[in-house]
Amino acid sequence: MIFHSTKNAALKASLEEAIFNSLPPDNGLYMPEYIPKISEDFLVDIENRSFKEIAVEVATTLFEGEITRSELENIIEHAYDFEAPIVGIAPEDYVLELFHGPSMAFKDFGARFMAAVMSHFLLKSDREIKILVATSGDTGGAVAQGFYQVPGISVTILYPSGKVSEIQEKQLTTLGHNVTAIEVNGTFDDCQKLVKEAFLDPELRQHYNLASANSINIARLIPQSFYFFSAFAQLKKLGKSIVFSVPSGNFGNLSAGVLAFRMGLPVEHFVASTNLNNAVPRYLTSGLYDPHPSIETISNAMDVGSPSNFVRLQRFFGDDWKLVTEKISGAFFTDEETQQAMREVFESTNYVMCPHTAVAYLGLQKYRKESGADFTGVFLSTAHPAKFIDLVEQTLGKSIEIPARLESLLHIEKVAVKMEPTFEDFKNLLLNELAL
Ligand X SMILES: *Cc1c(COP(=O)(O)O)cnc(C)c1O
Task: Catalog residues that contact ligand X under the rule CB under 6 A.
Answer: 105, 107, 138, 215, 247-253, 301-302, 356, 382-383
Beta bridge partners of residue 331, listed in sequence order? 273
The three-point CA angle 24-27-30 to 5° equals: 45
Q: CA 76 to CA 69: how far, in whole Å?
A: 10
C-beta separation of 153 from 131 below 8 A: yes
Smallest gap from residue 139 Cβ to ligand X (A): 7
Smallest gap from residue 433 Cβ to ligand X (A): 30
Residue whose CB is less far from ligand X, 18 or 353: 353
Smallest gap from residue 257 Cβ to ligand X (A): 10
Smallest gap from residue 357 Cβ to ligand X (A): 8
Decide the pairing of beta strands 3-5 and 30-32: antiparallel
Neighbouring residues of 347: CB distance < 8 A, sequence distance ≥ 6: none
Burial label, 187 (beta-carbon count in 10 A; 0-12, 13-18, 19+):
middle
Q: CA 193 to CA 196: how far, in whole Å?
A: 5
Torsion of CA 349, 350, 353, 358, to 10 degrees: 30
Smallest gap from residue 333 Cβ to ligand X (A): 14
Residue whose CB is less far from ligand X, 67 or 258: 258
CB atoms within 10 A of CB 169: 22
Smallest gap from residue 259 Cβ to ligand X (A): 12
Instruction: Output DSSP code: residue 119.
Output: H
Residue whose CB is less far from ligand X, 28 or 307: 307
Residue whose CB is less far from ligand X, 63 or 310: 310
Smallest gap from residue 355 Cβ to ligand X (A): 8
Smallest gap from residue 226 Cβ to ligand X (A): 14
Residue whose CB is less far from ligand X, 122 or 231: 231
Q: CA 9 to CA 85: how far, in whole Å?
A: 38
Instruction: Output DSSP code: residue 127.
Output: -
Smallest gap from residue 108 Cβ to ligand X (A): 10
Give the rounded distance of the alpha carbon of 303 from its chain centre.
Answer: 14
C-beta separation of 267 from 377 below 8 A: no
Residue whose CB is less far from ligand X, 130 or 356: 356
C-beta separation of 213 from 131 below 8 A: yes
C-beta separation of 217 from 115 below 8 A: no
Residue whose CB is less far from ligand X, 142 or 409: 142
Burial label, 103 (beta-carbon count in 10 A; 0-12, 13-18, 19+):
buried
Residue whose CB is less far from ligand X, 102 or 249: 249
Smallest gap from residue 238 Cβ to ligand X (A): 26
Residue whose CB is less far from ligand X, 227 or 251: 251
What are the respective helix, strand and coil percentages of the chain, to the nearest 5? Answer: 50, 15, 35
Smallest gap from residue 435 Cβ to ligand X (A): 31
Residue whose CB is less far from ligand X, 284 or 301: 301
Q: CA 175 to CA 412: how far, in whole Å?
A: 10
Beta bridge partners of residue 179, listed in sequence order? 155
C-beta separation of 142 from 107 below 8 A: yes
Residue whose CB is less far from ligand X, 6 or 171: 171
